[in-house]
Amino acid sequence: MTTAEQDPRLTEALAAIAAAGDADALEAQRIAALGKQGWVSAALKTLGGMSPEERQEQGPRIQATRAAISEAIEARKAALESAALEARLAAEVIDLTLPAPVSPKGSVHPVSQVMNELAEIFADMGFAVATGPEIEDDWHNFTALNMPESHPARAMHDTFYFPQQVDAQEVQPGSGQRRMLLRTHTSPVQIRSMVEHGAPLRIIAPGRVYRSDSDATHTPMFHQVEGLVIDRGIHLGHLKWTLETFLKAFFERDDIVLRLRPSYFPFTEPSVEVDVGWQDVGGRRVLGGDGDAPGHGWMELLGSGMVNRRVLEFAGLDPDQWQGFAFGVGVDRLAMLKYGMDDLRAFFDGDGRWLAHYGFSAFDQPTLSGGVGARQ
């Protein structure tokens, strides 16, 4: 087909397609020519009524018109798209000299870091990590730890009790029913571990505990770690060595000196309070050294003792065969002493600035070979 023979409608359509300014205008052109009611479609329909000779002549002509229009539409579409892209690229200027936005980076809370350090240190001495529920019953939290219902030590714990209803009645003292509470210490994990695994046993149990108490050094929720060893022939010497080894590794000092003072806990007999010697370094109390030396002192750090025979019996162990020692210490306290933080409340405020300052990198995994102290 030469230009001279070209259908004037085709010439007009091609011009309109070439002039279409956007996708909608182009689509209108497509519908006008190739749509169901379009003039090319109408021309195609006329082929049916033609004689074979006429059809042979007109057929290719109409098909060629259709192809020319389709091609023109495709070409215009591509041109419009690339023009739009050019325009966007020209408008969206990226200034590579601007500083990149800082993406917030999380950090490991000092309490979690210290718990990981404890797990690492005690794993090396053959201790497994045990856990127990924070919503505990009074049998595990008190009774089985040799604190019967009337025991005064129960009152000292400022316990959060649940308003438990049994058969529409309050649980009555002496009824044998268990009252639910938020555990006041990690010691109930001693009972749960002995009941579940029997003896021998070596566990630490870090976790959250709760007491109705609040000031600069007390928060209603805080953290403890419990330690328990049950075996044959266990005595106070094992307890002292274990605590000494633990504290030297934790504080990364060989000059940690312990002082064991007689004390009282219902679940240990005898019970000892463990003090650690400290010295004044530039106005700060730093652990280490003999607390009796001039300028030095003793700081009470943890409670411990030999597991009371009655506790072993409550947990189903024969106290004539098995002995053990236990200890309990505040994890928050350990973190404060090691990393020099002085307000316990800041631990649980959730202030991102505090965490950014005192938090640890997730890559700072405590290991005995690499050091349980964090890189600072």
CB of 213 to ligand DAH, least distance (A): 12
CB of 234 to ligand DAH, least distance (A): 13
CB of 217 to ligand DAH, least distance (A): 14
How many angstroms separate the CA atoms of 166 and 161, rounded?
14
| Residues at the contact surface with ligand DAH, assessed by CB under 6 A | 185, 187, 226, 265, 268, 303-305, 326-328
Measured at CB, which residue is nearest to ligand DAH?
328
C-beta of 188 vs 288, nearer to ligand DAH: 188
> Radius of gyration (Cα) for the chain, nearest Å?
41
C-beta of 204 vs 256, nearer to ligand DAH: 204
How many angstroms separate the CA atoms of 256 and 244, rounded?
7
Helix axes 39-46, 52-91, angle to 10 degrees: 160
C-beta of 26 vs 336, nearer to ligand DAH: 336
CB of 154 to ligand DAH, least distance (A): 12
How many angstroms separate the CA atoms of 4 and 347, rounded?
89
- Angle ∠(22,28,32) on CA atoms, nearest 5: 150
C-beta of 206 vs 303, nearer to ligand DAH: 303
DSSP 310-352: HHHHHTT--TTT-EEEEEEEEHHHHHHHHHT---GGGGGS--H
How many angstroms separate the CA atoms of 29 and 23, rounded?
10
C-beta of 156 vs 368, nearer to ligand DAH: 156
Is the CA virtual torsion 265, 232, 127, 256 positive or negative?
A: positive
CB of 100 to ligand DAH, least distance (A): 49
- Pairing of the two strands 201-210 and 128-129: parallel
CB of 266 to ligand DAH, least distance (A): 9
Is the CA virtual torsion 36, 38, 44, 49 positive or negative?
A: positive
CB of 146 to ligand DAH, least distance (A): 11
SS3 101: coil
Residues 362 and 258 sit within 8 Å (Cβ to Cβ): no
C-beta of 185 vs 338, nearer to ligand DAH: 185
Residues 372 and 121 sit within 8 Å (Cβ to Cβ): yes
C-beta of 116 vs 304, nearer to ligand DAH: 304
CB of 370 to ligand DAH, least distance (A): 30
C-beta of 132 vs 289, nearer to ligand DAH: 132
